[in-house]
Amino acid sequence: MKRFEFLEHTADVIVRAYGDNLEEAFAAAGEAMFALITDRSAIKLTDEITIEIESPDREGLLVAFLSKLILIHEVDQMIFREFTVTFHSSTQLSAIGRGEHFVETRHESGLHVKAASYHMIEIADKVGEMPAYVQVLFDV
């Protein structure tokens, strides 16, 4: 199963991320966002961060998770190749991000992701053979 795909949009970028469950789909959405920012294959797994997110609903949880990653990228210049997401309830999660600090001479600069949007957001649990997925629009 593919982890994520980019969908057509006139001005911004839509990502649909997949997983065997929503935790994996959220993790894949984070990975997709960093695929927009830089070449993920060049990211070494030398640093690890843990974040805690709480929100009133699943859509808010997804946007808050991705927004926190954007903030960490902007402030601390961190880039991530992989994530492990754990739901503690339908309104709370923790995530471990693995990656390193951005190094201009080694990492390509891709798109500048400004925000994760509620516009066109979708969250779907796994149904039968269909994987769980999340869809989010990134303002670039």
139, 12 in Cβ contact below 8 A? yes
**By three-state DSSP, how is residue 137 classified?**
strand
Question: 34-84: per-residue pLDDT in tens?
Answer: 999 999 999 999 999 999 999 999 999 999 999 999 999 999 999 999 999
Report if pTM > 0.75: yes
Q: Which residues contact 30 (CB under 8 A, 6 or more apart)?
A: 65, 66, 69, 80, 83, 85, 95, 97
Give the domains, in start order, of the chain with CATH numbers: 4-139 (3.55.10.10)
Q: Is 73 exposed, middle or buried (0-12, 13-18, 19+ CB in 10 A)?
A: buried
Give me the mean pLDDT over the 96-114 stretch: 95
Inform me whether the pLDDT recorded for 21 exceeds 90.
yes
Place 121 in a pLDDT band, splitting at 50, 70 and 90: very high
